[in-house]
Structure 1
């Protein structure tokens, strides 16, 4: 029988459901008992806030929002570019999106998919609905998603070791207030140690001041059905506490191949403000989702099979490519309590404790020799628990199980004195990661009863058969200090900052024959300087110099590896995996008004450029880093957005980048002649065009994205062609119908006229064709694999506030 995996209704999930019910019922009763009834037509939610005249918080992105009333879905119709170009003041290249744009997209899309139109962003979609976090590619200025720091409400929310953001796990789209992308650098005070490629900051919506709620129902292509419900308590009594809680469920078929991808999600937030500037929140989110991997083709496989290349839909004896064997399930619990105390008018203390717990597994089909397999470098003997197939082998599921507990606290003290602002703080993080692999037998119908690795195949001595059994503990200590000076009536701002990050990793590997204890420590000093000048109230110029650091990602580099079929060691653990370091400079200009312009030029130099890729280890796909040596990147980016004019708001963005490798790369005992070659995953040109319309009732939005040809090998002997994608949304909104506030219907058409295409690089290689090395040896080629961009999809959503 095929495996059936039910959502984990454990104590965490039950607690989340009870919290949702308690918040809304208690809040609703308190509102009814203490507040007079407010006519629905007089209720106006204030999603936006006035610009804060004080210096920006140490933990939040620097942006300006405009105060205005909003519809039930949070749109205000005032952000330039249809929500794609909110005003920015930071002395660095920075872009963002607001509810005006977010609400017009399919509610299935993740934050990574939502930022695809911003300059410098290359989004390699792997499914049209934007739901597949684990199999999508994101790069900014040619740097992949593991090099882009991800902050959710100021918390480093990406898994600390693998650094893939998993942005859909932290919040539903309806609960996201804004997203800010800093291209090329991160805030000096940000709790990140991988942000050489930029910083992605997601802000959650605040609870409403009045009791009510929002419901959103979506249905569409690939049997999509999604239900979302948020309930706001309003002010609870006269306590000043407000809260909301939401629940959503989504399920959809894979856009190619067999299988479904269910997802359960809960968000909640309690908020309290007091005094002059003090505030706190308690944020809780829970996410569970399951999906089946989509097979990444090589160029040859794509040309032969197109979108039909995938895992098989029906099982036959010995078929390791059966889709049910290629499974990923992941559950995440997120808790944070961002708090700011206004100790005096000049002194502010910020604290942000957090805890993230993740469990799950990845599985892949493989075969095992029933009497000739190995446990590390030791014979496993006669395997127990498997059925020998017609090919004489045991068909099995290689399951990579994991548990991750990530806790920490960010603390900073800000002192405003005269024309100066001094910020100093610290960040401490403790991360515990366990990663045993297991093998489960496949029955005659293609099912496996492993259920997250339970009832595994055993060795002759009764131990679970495994390829690795690792445990890692990581501690991060960071200190930062920043001084800002304002002069010339606050038109000139000078800033200098220094951050020091210490990352310590201790790894154990219980596999027979492997080095049991390993570890690494990294230290990185990171100075930053910047200056901005307001030429007029609408014109700003800025310049900055930044440094960045990224610790190696993945645990594979620290473990000895053995072939399960021969027992031979195929890779040695290393303790000298070098971190990536970058030095960058930017010069930019901004203009705000009816026409909004943001332009910048940049230069970056990298040492020990870390390239994230995947490889197979005894049937399991593992993430590892390749040292890409030095790299130089120079380029320019541009954004132009029009404030609403006759209800229309156009938007244009683009980037030119010239990135090259600075040295030859080592392959075995020789070197591949890569010096001067163009960087992988870095198209020279990319751009976007958008047009939105909203007259208060009828609304629509069109976007078109272009990505130039992209190399997938360091030798530049293989690349994917350029491609263009287009999306269209349209809908109609009413003001008030009975209890329903701003009810609307919306249609999203995704990937118009694009039936399938290679959207990005999944795994890279030094060279696709045989190449002569620097010392004359022949270096065999290896074919890269690619993401397949999703086909056309349509989504209809009906929503209303109440």
Structure 2
């Protein structure tokens, strides 16, 4: 949507809102309002998808009233989801937590999906800014993001080489339907080779059945502004086809120090439905972003400078100019496409097929001050010929110096499909068989490009005008290309007994991975080959012993294939600074869970005990000074984890919907590592206690919510000689829905408060080390941390049409 059209809609929104009287509560039946106001309705659920539906209960002597009406809203908020949208009835035979639209749409549209799940049990999210753009960390039961499967609309959405999660690559929050976290392990049909720590899945809303749309405008702290517009076609004729397309644009200043973020994206989704349960979906997202980064901060830096430890605002020529903010950026473009489809061949025979494609290109950049003659290497080859450096200035020894942009670039193409068929045999067994195929071409290289005299890089992406040697070779600190091919076959049986009360699942996945790569830098290494095979059996069961009560148990195996940087020699300094592992080992885990759920007319609750055994635990850590552009894996040997997690939420009680979650975790290292006495130490990023409280109040016209979370201290070294302190964080929302006026439906104003008390704290461990202090003659290395964002206030106006 162009700016003129968007401005017209804004004017219509404003003129319709200002003169209106105080809003009144409005309720409507679920069926009529879902289509009238663009709340997507879905196909009837399959038997496997059906969950108990809460029913109203009469007013008790204590005057507890459970509301069953759906709110009339512009953004799909129903006012009915338990816990304010932070919990829902689940039926999987594993621990699962889900965040729904009732919570998502009341948060700031700028927040990323990881921040939206931070209140769920076992999840610890470290944010670096209030807008969720500039990186962050996430751990689940003490396991980091490189150990989590991540899917979006059934397609894998993490980097296949290093498993990182780019928090800015997903659909706009306005388009998100729900986000689910499976804390223990992924399913057999989950497309992942790094799911030993669980599974995060994201799903967009479906297009509305009637033509309409949504417009939102946001303004707030740090010159934040955001515009969003979505158009739903409704059902096109009587074809069974409906679609939407949306556009969002956001810009903000760095919340501390110099810099700014700019991002725009387009999302789209189309669905074709026909016959008895046949669906073809095509969904996509394209995003362009240029984001801030933050300097690596040690504990000593935090104590000395606090939030004042930032990039330099002004450029000076010389080595100190490497800290100029314009040289330390994170530009990235990416596109994700997925086409999940479901076909019913007969009453007993079904097929699911999901092809996908992902392309990403960008970098993490830093400044690099070079001399044209002295101290230059290509791989392990010392360079003796003078470099031709644009914008160079004369040095004091007949040489020239120049500032350059060092871009840690990644260009990746990834495509594949997941195919699954299931057949009902008799009255008790659903047999399924499937194949996941994935092919990726991943090029990672660290290259240099010119910087002008004022410190501005010629190309922030670092893709053009790269500095070369006199013989035409590219001057690079890394230059690796990896083709990864995955074939995974899975088979299993979903059995039901006792009239559906007892369900049992058993199956196995056979995962085969081939990495075939080249190291283009001079040195002893050129060809890299990794062939990996893992059999992954799993069994689980669930027993629904009454309408409200169920128990479940599961035993699963998962793995994490070695990341690509682990395989290659790296040259971050003169000569080889990191030697690739020639025969790396997979991280392998066995996880057990046993749990209980209650799905009643007033409460929804669950509690789970879990136990993990790891071998070759892989811990991902960023290389200091690369702005997160280079990561390495630390092999932490064996690990044992035990814990208990739980969550509880209510349906509306006099418009209140509270939610509480918590986890106790005991995770220990099983053996000594790198000559250090680490056996029995607490695992890194594994807080002993985490907890969250959320309160939502919504009467249909006025609403507010509040949440607070607590994370106990976390070890940042394998030796436990340095810790990140415990912290708490508060957020809140207040808002009002106004009556519809003409074509403007349910105009809404909401204000979000991020870090309500402006608490100063460290939010995440970015770089893990073996030891911070010298131990047994092994020198200590300080870990790096993320600084939590300060108080931010963001106002959002939204209206449907």
The TM-score with structure 1 as length reference comes to: 0.90
Note if 1:558 corresponds to 2:567.
yes
The CA deviation string for residues 458-502 of structure 1, in whole angstroms up to 9 with x for no partner, is 223343311122111000000111211111111111111111111
SS at 1:306 equivalent: helix
- What is residue 192 of structure 1 aligned with on the other side? 192
Question: What is the CA–CA distance in structure 1 between the aligned matches of 2:595 and 2:193, rounded to whole Å?
Answer: 25
Residue 350 (structure 1) aligns with: 352
Output the CA distance in 1 between the equivalents of 2:326 and 2:606. 48
Match of 1:477 among 487, 492, 501: 487
Cα distance between partner residues in 2 of 1:470 and 1:673: 35
| Structure 2 Cα separation of the partners of residues 482 and 356 of structure 1 | 29
Name which of 667, 691, 696 aligns with 1:659: 667
Q: Which residue number corresponds to residue 797 of structure 1?
A: 796
For the pair 1:600 / 2:593, whether they are aligned, the reply is: no
Match of 1:641 in 2: 649
Aligned residue runs from structure 1 range 180-219, under 5 A:
180-219=180-219
- Is 506-515 or 98-107 further displaced after alignment? 506-515
Counterpart for residue 589 of structure 2: 582
Identify the residue that residue 93 of structure 2 maps to in structure 1.
91
| 1:515 paired to 2:515 | no
Once the two structures are TM-superposed, the CA of residue 368 in structure 1 deviates from its matched residue by 2.4
Offset of 1:51 from its aligned partner?
A: 6.7
Q: Give the Cα separation in 1 of the matches to 2:352 and 2:691.
A: 38
Q: Write the mapping of 1:679-758 to structure 2, written as runs, cut at 5 A.
A: 679-758=683-762
Taking the TM superposition and a 5 Å limit, the aligned residue runs for 1:299-448 are 299-318=299-318, 319-372=321-374, 373-380=376-383, 381-386=385-390, 387-388=392-393, 393-417=401-425, 418-448=427-457
Aligned equivalents of 2:34, 2:581: Cα separation in 1: 66
Give the secondary-structure state (helix, strand or coil) at the position aligned to 2:323: coil
Identify if the C-alpha distance between structure 1 residues 389 and 732 changes in structure 2 by more than 3 Å, giving closer, same or farther: farther
Q: Would you say the 8 A contact 1:514–1:559 is kept in 2?
A: no
Q: Does 1:591 align with 2:584?
A: no
Question: Which among 48, 55, 62 is matched to residue 55 of structure 1?
Answer: 48
Match of 1:531 in 2: 541
Report how far residue 46 of structure 1 moved. 4.5
Instruction: Tell me how far apart the structure 1 counterparts of residues 469 and 160 of structure 2 sit (CA, whole Å).
Output: 33
Gaps of 5+ in 1: 1-15, 22-38, 57-61, 773-777
Give, in angstroms, the shift of residue 205 of structure 1. 0.5
- Offset of 1:514 from its aligned partner? 4.2
In the alignment of these two chains, the number of paired residues is 750
Alpha-carbon distance between aligned partners in 2 of 1:389 and 1:588, rounded to the nearest angstrom: 70
The question of 1:624 aligning with 2:632 is answered: yes
Residues 705-736 of structure 1: CA distance to partner in whole angstroms, max 9, x if unpaired? 00001110000000011100000001000241
C-alpha separation in 1, matches of 2:394 and 2:85: 58
Structure 1 residues 248 and 65, CA gap change in structure 2 (3 angstroms): farther
Contact 1:376 1:563 in 2 (8 A): no
Contact 1:376 1:511 (8 Å CA) reproduced: yes
Contact 1:563 1:618 in 2 (8 A): no
Contact conserved, 1:41 with 1:736, CA < 8 A, in 2? no
CA offsets 1:227-281 (integer angstroms, 9 cap, x no match): 0000001111221110100000001111111111111110011101111010011
Distance 1:699 1:608 in 2: 49
Q: Give the match's secondary structure for 1:411.
A: strand
Deviations 1:587-645 (A, max 9, x none): 10000120221001010000010100011589984112111111000000010111111
Contact 1:760 1:786 in 2 (8 A): yes
- After superposition, the C-alpha distances for 1:289-332 in whole angstroms (9 at most, x for unaligned) are 11121113100011000000011111112111111111111111
> Residue 178 of structure 1 corresponds to which residue in structure 2?
178
Indicate if the aligned counterparts of 1:398 and 1:620 stay in contact, CA closer than 8 A. no
Q: Distance in 2 between matches of 1:65 and 1:556?
A: 48
Q: Distance in 2 between matches of 1:316 and 1:729?
A: 43
Q: Alpha carbons of 1:619 and 1:175: their partners in 2 closer, same or farther (altered >3 Å)?
A: closer
Contact 2:446 2:476 in 1 (8 A): yes
Q: Which moved more, 1:507-516 or 1:41-50?
A: 41-50
Cross-structure match for 1:571: 578
Which residue of the partner structure matches residue 121 of structure 1?
123
TM-score of the superposition, structure 2-length normalised?
0.91
CA apart distance, 1:158: 1.0
What is the root-mean-square deviation in Å for CA atoms of aligned residues?
Answer: 2.2
Task: Mark the CA change 1:228 to 1:356 in structure 2 (over 3 Å): closer, same or farther.
Answer: same
Distance 1:64 1:350, change over 3 A: farther
Question: Any conservation in 1 of the 2:112–2:131 contact (CA below 8 Å)?
Answer: no
Alpha-carbon displacement from aligned partner over 1:185-207 (angstroms, at most 9, x marks no partner): 11121111111111111111100
Q: Is the 8 A contact 2:294 2:627 kept in 1?
A: no
Is the CA contact (8 Å cut-off) linking 1:385 and 1:458 kept in structure 2?
no
